[in-house]
Amino acid sequence: MTPPTPSTPGTRLDPWFGAYAMRAHNMRASEVRALFAVVNRPEVVSLAGGMPYLEGLPLESIAASMERLIATHGTTALQYGSGQGHEALREQILEVMKLEGIDAHPDDVVVTTGSQQALDLVTRIFIDPGDVIVAEAPSYVGALGVFRSYQADVVHVPLDEHGLIPEALEETLTSLAAQGRRVKLLYTIPNFHNPAGVTLSLERRPRILEIARRHGVLVVEDNPYGLLGFGSEPLEAMRATDGDGVLYLGSFSKTFAPGFRVGWVVAPHAVREKLVLASESAILCPSNASQMAISTYLETSDWKAQIKAFQVLYRERRDAMVGALAEHMPDASWTVPDGGFYTWVRLPEGLDSKSMLPRAVTGRVAYVPGTAFFADGTGGDHMRLSYCFPTPDRIREGVRRLASVVNAERELVEIFGTTAHLDDVTDTDNPGPDLV
């Protein structure tokens, strides 16, 4: 067997084409990615991204506390740290999770480089090629990308306005068991779902846990938005009632700031040990500077008041979004989220969000096509609209533009019967960090 050489056939453009691992063939840039290169231009209203609105943060005071941190604890903040994460921060994370009824120990927490790294580590330690991960239909594009990169098979289970449907989960797991498939994980976003905007009802939570337990499936509870509800108190996390069967993923990216890249995972003891080893292999240790910056913020700021301010801000934007949808796109339908960043819009009959996207970008508005949120390429009848980053006025303007694009598209459909389709590469191919 001859090893590949730069002169071996493969592609002229990539002399190492023949040398990649199998899993690398599952890593592809999404076809919508090129379009998103332009959505950050000021003339485009982007309803695509999941970037939090940071202008509400007390930047002056964060800046001053960063200075004190480096000046007084610089030799720690700038040094290597623990693979599991900074202990003081892990203790503070317990305080954050208490708001959702989670009672844990600092040893149960592994700090990660954003919760994306937690997804990567969990998939790394559990998934062999061909293993099944069950996820909602639709599901978070960044998770689907990780699952694909480890060659998992994602099987979707429907959700409705109360979240993942227990009966459908039961049926899916029973059917997969009958096929002899190995189901390792149930990946779920119970609160203010990305992209669906729905929340798993409290009544369903114990039922989902019971079904997963009975089928021997570990639940991955991904909860970046749980504290960003617009109504009453935070809902009790699934992890709060099941310490052995749930891996809980949290993040400071939406409730504080994503630029430090700090998330965490809470795991049963033995799993946690594997996660720490996997994380050390991946990055040695998370950034002490980032972790101590967040620890300082939690210690010196009224972070709960900041979260309440974000709730008010995002609620106003959600109202702007659903108000504009009612005014300008009465033939579409959408979810009305009780928190979080996203609404999930069903387009009028016959339209395809993926083929329409280039025309939307030309019309100076961007969204994420529904196809991004399904492992099987379906979802073209939906789109995700995010209201987190643009101001209410920009949101209204964006929806106005979107309505024009939709109306023009309907005329096309009426004349030609269908619209042009982009090729059929699924959009869970990596769309880049703009679409979180």
Q: How far is the CB of 231 from its own copies (least distance, A)?
A: 27
- The DSSP letter of residue 372 is G
- The interface with its own copies within residues 351-410 (CB under 8 A) comprises none
- Closer CB to its own copies, residue 270 or residue 415? 270
Contact status: 19 vs its own copies (CB under 8 A): yes
Question: φ and ψ at 184, to 5 degrees?
Answer: -95, -40
Q: Nearer to its own copies by C-beta: 147 or 334? A: 147
Query: Where do we find the tokens 């089928």?
Result: 215
**Which residues from 247-266 bind its own copies, rule CB under 8 A?**
253, 257-261
Which DSSP state fits 220? E
- Indicate whether 224 belongs to the interface with its own copies (CB under 8 A): no
Asked if residue 75 binds its own copies (CB under 8 A), the reply is yes
- Applying CB under 8 A, among 100, 131, 170, 427 the residue interacting with its own copies is 131
The verdict on 283 binding its own copies (CB under 8 A) reads yes
Q: How far is the C-alpha of 166 from the C-alpha of 272, rounded, in Å? A: 28
CA–CA separation, 363 and 380 (whole Å): 19
Residue 373 token pair: 């949120």
Residue 81 lies near its own copies (rule: CB under 8 A): yes
Contact 57, 380 (CB under 8 A): no
Query: Is residue 381 within 8 Å of 352, Cβ to Cβ?
Result: yes
Task: Choose one: 74-82, 219-227, 321-329, 341-349; the region binding its own copies (CB under 8 A).
Answer: 74-82
Residues 6+ apart with CB under 8 A from 42: none
- Positions in 320-349 near its own copies (CB under 8 A): none
Cis peptide bond N-terminal to 9, omega within 30: no
Check residue 277 for interaction with its own copies (CB under 8 A). yes
The yes or no reply on residue 59 touching its own copies (CB under 8 A) is yes
Is 305 a binder of its own copies (CB under 8 A)? no
Q: Which CB, 1 or 415, lies closer to its own copies? A: 1
**Using an 8 Å Cβ cutoff, are 340 and 163 in contact?**
no
In terms of CB distance, is 208 or 271 closer to its own copies? 271
Residue 117 found at the interface with its own copies (CB under 8 A):
yes
Taking the complex as a whole, how short is the minimal distance between the CB of residue 216 and its own copies, in angstroms?
A: 3
Q: With binding defined as CB under 8 A, does residue 142 bind its own copies?
A: yes
Residue 365 Cβ vs its own copies, minimum distance, rounded to whole Å: 20
Three-class SS string for 101-167?
A: CCCCCHHHEEEECHHHHHHHHHHHHHCCCCCEEEEEECCCHHHHHHHHHCCCEEEEEEEECCEECHH
Choosing from 189, 211, 238, 289, the residue that interacts with its own copies (CB under 8 A) is 289
Which of 50/138 has CB closer to its own copies? Answer: 50
Residue 171 binding its own copies, by CB under 8 A: no
- Sign of the Cα pseudo-torsion (432, 109, 301, 221, in order): positive
Nearer to its own copies, 140 or 192 (CB): 140
What residues pair up with 187 in beta bridges, in sequence order? 135, 220
63 near its own copies (CB under 8 A): yes
- Residue 118 Cβ vs its own copies, minimum distance, rounded to whole Å: 10
SS3 30: coil
Please answer whether residues 264 and 85 qualify as being in contact, where contact means their C-beta atoms are separated by less than 8 angstroms.
Answer: yes
